[in-house]
Structure 1
């Protein structure tokens, strides 16, 4: 099984440990993982900003790089959601590209969804010991609402052993990031994120775990401004026991 790992822009530039953790998990299940070196952006930021022309250029580049694989996996619900849900509209005026995009969309997955529903949990090697013992989980909007990612990461966390998962109040509530939303409506975004951080704090968890780096950066920034030292971990980092920043 040849898997193309879509690292994503944020992971590549801000937290490569997530990409290395995803690679480790996939290879532990016997996947042949390839990382196209020329990969850049899927076009999501441009799409969210209404820039259809640049989105199409980036999406076509992405298609050319990833359609060769049996599966494409991303450690990000929002980036996988862009391909699965929105490429159909990006290429709506080009039947050939729309068909190509549809074929790739069918084999593109968010990481935990792929691990649970394609590989099967018994094939994936999880860390024998977690870096933290008590965690809570935040459901990032795109992964949850576009791809149905909710039970999958929780099942993997609970399969680790030695990790207590305590649900926060309103775990499905937005953290206020929303890509360009946090830039355009900073005060509103900050207020939403403050509520989220209070819910995290109330659980007493050592770490909040989630599957989208944009949301991670937003939550971590607000926690630190509130004087909180709760760790913010990507689910792949937790599952491999890799420390943030460790490559």
Structure 2
């Protein structure tokens, strides 16, 4: 079976600094794949290269179609979507307006599926339903992450890229977010998530890559890596239990 996303020999340079070095990975249809590793390992650079916001070399294919030379807009049109670490919400716009902007690629059709997607997301995150007219910038950290995820899902992506979705959030909110991430498989979506919280990443994903120094040090089925002595010692033995406080 061919992969939904395939990356081969991807490299990212910042001047003379090589942030990502010859990385290759694959994401299958209806799967959750995680990338874990320390700060500065190159994880965010890898995601940004995939969406096209930073320059890279190598091959990127979406459903067998090479997209490495495509602009961001074309990658989004073909079903690739990134939720960045900073969320990048429109803080002065309402929750409802942010959701509408997420469906921008369907602006010409205004199809019924967009309305159904919106209703589904508001049922998944009832806090957002209660705050539709509230400005996004006034939401709590957890609510902003829910909105950022929902806005991305309004575009009905084939593959959702998530950069540190647990960052700064309370453990209960993190669990809620990852429960939704896992559920996306049943909606025929795939997810590639970068996450420092290795424990929840391994619990929630089908396959995992461990990134260190711009390369993949280890990779394999998540359930196997969760038992790997090196992963246990480095990432799980003292895994941070989400030190954030915002909800």
**TM-score after normalising by structure 2:** 0.28
Flag the structure with higher strand content. Answer: 2
**Larger relative contact order (C-alpha < 8 A, sep ≥ 6)?**
2
